[in-house]
């Protein structure tokens, strides 16, 4: 009887094979402060929970909106390092029920004989980002906030990108993301970051990919004795430094799905 049961269990595991349909971040809770992701108030209707896997390792986590074809947020541990040289973008095989290591479109097209249309059903593809003048694919988990070759490469996945104004990306935001973050995190031992994008009223690629109205970032840091938090939000080319509470209040209003809570106990323990 027992061996039959075991056989059944292992058979069903085999049958599940590689396609993982998940509704949580249970495989990568380590990217969230106290292993606690933000509450439901940020979850869109057509969501995917992606533990971003590259070279058989998890590097960060992304809540993805399959209808808007942009991430809601990426969550990661801040470990700044030099910028990588030119990299190619990946897509997410999980969203077409293939194994979960991120791959290039070329790889999927050649090794699984599927086309851009199939790949692009639930996610943005490179073609969506071509022929744009002012918009570039902007990282939610930035490669400059990661310090190994693999974790930097892993940020170049389109499920971690949103159409972002080139001017904002190159100027104001960069100042906050680089200098301000470095200043703020002095004396932090571990800093957990959640960076997100609020869907806007315009889109690119014939309506396929939403252009966010706001980009935001919240950080929760542990020092040897306490915790502290800070946040920024950008609208058009204007960036503001906020408290965590202020950001949560603004996001609750912008998303309109209830009170947003980004960190376990508001990062206050």
Ligand X SMILES: *[C@@H]1O[C@H](CO)[C@@H](O)[C@H](O)[C@H]1NC(C)=O
Q: Which is nearer to ligand X, 58 or 107 (CB)?
A: 107
- For ligand X, the closer of residues 8 and 111 by Cβ is 111
From the number of C-beta atoms within 10 Å of its C-beta (0-12, 13-18, 19+), residue 254 rates as: middle
Q: Which is closer to ligand X, CB of 86 or CB of 117? A: 86
Contact between 187 and ligand X by CB under 6 A: the answer reads no
CA dihedral 81, 83, 86, 88 (to 10 degrees): 50
DSSP state of 83: P
Among 46, 118, 237, 243, binds ligand X (CB under 6 A): 237
90-149 binders of ligand X (CB under 6 A): 106-107, 110-111, 134-135
- Give residues with Cβ within 8 angstroms of 122, minimum separation 6: 46, 48, 66, 69, 95, 96
Rounded to an integer, what distance in angstroms lies between the CA atom of residue 215 and that of residue 21? 28
200 binds ligand X (CB under 6 A): yes
Paired with 165 in beta bridges are 135
C-alpha of 61 from chain center: 6
Binding mask 165-184 for ligand X (x = CB under 6 A): x-x-----------------
Of 63-71, 84-92, 173-181, 239-247: span binding ligand X (CB under 6 A): 84-92
**Least distance to ligand X from the beta carbon of 103, Å?**
8
According to DSSP, the residues that pair with 197 across neighbouring strands are 215
> How far out from the chain centre does Cα 227 lie?
23
Per rule CB under 6 A, is residue 258 in the interface with ligand X? yes
Q: Contact positions toward ligand X, by CB under 6 A? A: 86-88, 106-107, 110-111, 134-135, 165, 167, 200-201, 213, 237, 258-259
């Amino acid at each position: 009887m027992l061996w039959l049961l075991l056989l059944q269990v292992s058979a069903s595991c085999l049958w599940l094979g590689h396609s993982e349909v998940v509704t949580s971040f249970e495989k990568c809770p380590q990217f969230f402060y106290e292993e606690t992701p933000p509450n439901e108030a940020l979850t869109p209707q057509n969501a995917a929970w992606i533990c971003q896997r590259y070279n058989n390792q998890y590097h960060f986590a992304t809540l993805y909106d399959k209808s808007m074809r942009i991430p809601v947020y990426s969550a990661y541990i801040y470990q700044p390092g030099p910028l990588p040289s030119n990299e190619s973008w990946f897509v997410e095989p999980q969203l077409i029920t293939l194994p979960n290591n991120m791959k290039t479109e070329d790889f999927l097209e050649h090794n699984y004989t599927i086309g851009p249309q199939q790949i692009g059903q639930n996610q943005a593809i490179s073609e969506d980002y071509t022929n744009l003048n002012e918009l570039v694919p902007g990282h939610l988990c930035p490669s400059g906030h990661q310090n190994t070759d693999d974790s930097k490469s892993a940020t170049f996945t389109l499920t971690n990108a949103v159409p972002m104004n080139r001017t904002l990306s190159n100027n104001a935001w960069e100042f906050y993301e680089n200098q301000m973050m470095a200043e703020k995190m002095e004396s932090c031992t571990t800093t957990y970051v959640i960076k997100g994008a609020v869907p806007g009223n315009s889109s690119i690629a014939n309506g396929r990919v939403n252009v966010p109205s706001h980009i935001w970032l919240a950080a929760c840091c542990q020092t040897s004795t306490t915790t502290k938090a800070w946040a920024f939000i950008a609208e058009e080319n204007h960036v503001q430094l906020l408290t965590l509470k202020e950001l949560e209040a603004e996001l609750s209003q912008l998303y309109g799905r209830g009170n947003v809570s980004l960190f376990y106990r508001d990062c206050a323990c």
